[in-house]
Amino acid sequence: MTVRTATPSLATSTTGALLVAGIVLATLTEAIASTVLSLGRGDITGDTYATPDEFAGLDIGYTALKLIGFMTASSLMNRIHPLSLIIGSTLAMGLACGIAAITTQLDLLVALRTIQGFSGGIMLVGGQAIIFLAYPRSRQPILQALFAMGSVVAPATIAPALQGWLLDSQSWTWIFFSVVPVALTAAGLLLFADVAVPAKTAHGAFDWLGFCLISVALFCLTYVFSQGSRWDWFEEARILWLTVIGAATLLVFLGQQVLAKGRGLLDFSLFKSEDFSFAFIVSFVAGAALFGSAFLIPAFAVSVLAFTPLDAGLLLLPSGALFIGALLIAAFLIQVRHVPPFATVPFGILMIMLAMWMLSGSTSESGADDMMAAILLRGFGLGFLFLSITLIAFGKLDSRNLASGIGLFNTGRQLGGLLGVAALQTLIDHNVAANVAVLGANLTAGRAAVIERLTTMAAMLTAKGMDAAAAGRAAASLLGRAVASQSTVIAFDTAFNAVALLFVIAAPVLVAIKVGLSRHAKRRAARTLQPRPATVGIKQAQL
């Protein structure tokens, strides 16, 4: 394995600015590409004539290859010049998006999505690692805040608004087209950023066995998490078998990595750091909250409030400003005021929990103004949470295992997000069906309130020119739609509460884990400092 030493500060401020700007723009291309299916799903399906199973390949191919990119980025950085790797990945992303914009051939689109996913994973890990290696640790809070603007803020707030505007004004192909100039600009800036990179030492062969094992495991798990809800989970044999295969392959991969003794894809020495172990667990929970809430809010706006894609995208945009503001405030507190990163984690968790609780009171009559306070509070909380756990995770890692740690951290966050979205989608589906059954059971034909509602609606329709028989049938149909709409509202409110409850349960668990890890670290340090018996005997003999 290559052993790198941290590079000194960049020679000039201009070179450093070009480097950071290029990396942030590169991550922005990933942000746009990663969220293209969230709002463009209907338009792309219509133009490609894809079935739900065929369309699933676009999503699964991207996400699975992105996860594989996270896991392999460290090994690739040991074999390829890191800056050249980032530039190549950025150009590959731009090329794949440019071709995707001019084709409706489904098989080609799936292949292009895999290229986009793998390139995106490499860019996120490599870009963050280069920033850590190129600058001293004392300047990392503000630099990691800038990096988070492209890697976390953009996909959660800016990209949906951009895509909604392009879908309403142009078409889904323009979403892919928009990536091309950004990718070219990012690559150009990185080409001019002359960054000193330490010389590489000898390394072993690439771990192809580990690569194949983790690829199979991640493909299986990605399919299960993204499609399990649609197939009612283990009621479908396909989901059951893929779960078994994915879990078994993952266990075999972990065993193979242990036997590789540091020469594989996964560096187990990372977990000797209590800070990294704690942050890795938090990243899983935070990923569920970030991706879960980013799924719930636009879905509620589109399915219940009948927002257009543009309106749904703009709903999250203002929270981006609070997200960025919180990142900068947290960076100032940590870098200038020397506030420990741990101090802002509870504050971020509390604000996200409160925001989800506020959203749980939304109704079918709610509008953007009614939801905005909670959405802004969510963005503010995420800013404090994500910068803190990033600095906690990587603050004490050395250059030897830094890239591996970043890849593993991002994998945990992405898997947490997949699991969170899958759980929320399942919760909504089951609650809608249960709510319809409960509400429908109370709509008996003989009840006075039901008769009055049907009579009023029928009279209104008759007054508009509809004959009495048709008006009666239409009134019954409208009442059924009202029941379905109210059932959906209740289901979404339950899902918002579930995200808040996640933190209610997770917060004390995380505190207990942190306390346990700290005690374990102290015991290990005490054992390390304790003199060996032989050494004690020699000293006594000398006395």
Structure confidence by residue, pLDDT tens digits, 203-220: 667 888 989 999 999 999
Q: Which residues of the chain have pLDDT under 50?
A: 1-11, 199, 202, 536, 539, 543
Q: How many of the other CB atoms lie within 10 Å of CB of 339? A: 15
Q: Which of 122, 93, 83 is nearest to 180 (CA)?
A: 93
What per-residue confidence (pLDDT) applies to 473? 63
How many Å apart are CA 467 and CA 458, to the nearest integer? 9
* Residue 379: CA count within 13 A, CB half-sphere: 25
Residue spans of beta strands (DSSP E) within 27-147 = none
What per-residue confidence (pLDDT) applies to 11? 44
Residue 18 CA to its chain's centroid (Å): 26
How many Å apart are CA 336 and CA 474, to the nearest integer? 66
Residue 238 CB partners (closer than 8 Å, separation 6+): 231
What per-residue confidence (pLDDT) applies to 56? 81
How many Å apart are CA 278 and CA 510, to the nearest integer? 8
How many Å apart are CA 17 and CA 193, to the nearest integer? 8
Residue spans of beta strands (DSSP E) within 372-479 = none
What's the alpha-carbon Rg for the chain, to the nearest Å? 26
Q: What is the SS3 assignment for 383?
A: helix
User: First vs last Cα of the chain: how many Å apart?
Assistant: 45
pTM for the whole thing?
A: 0.83
Which residue has tokens 């007054």?
463
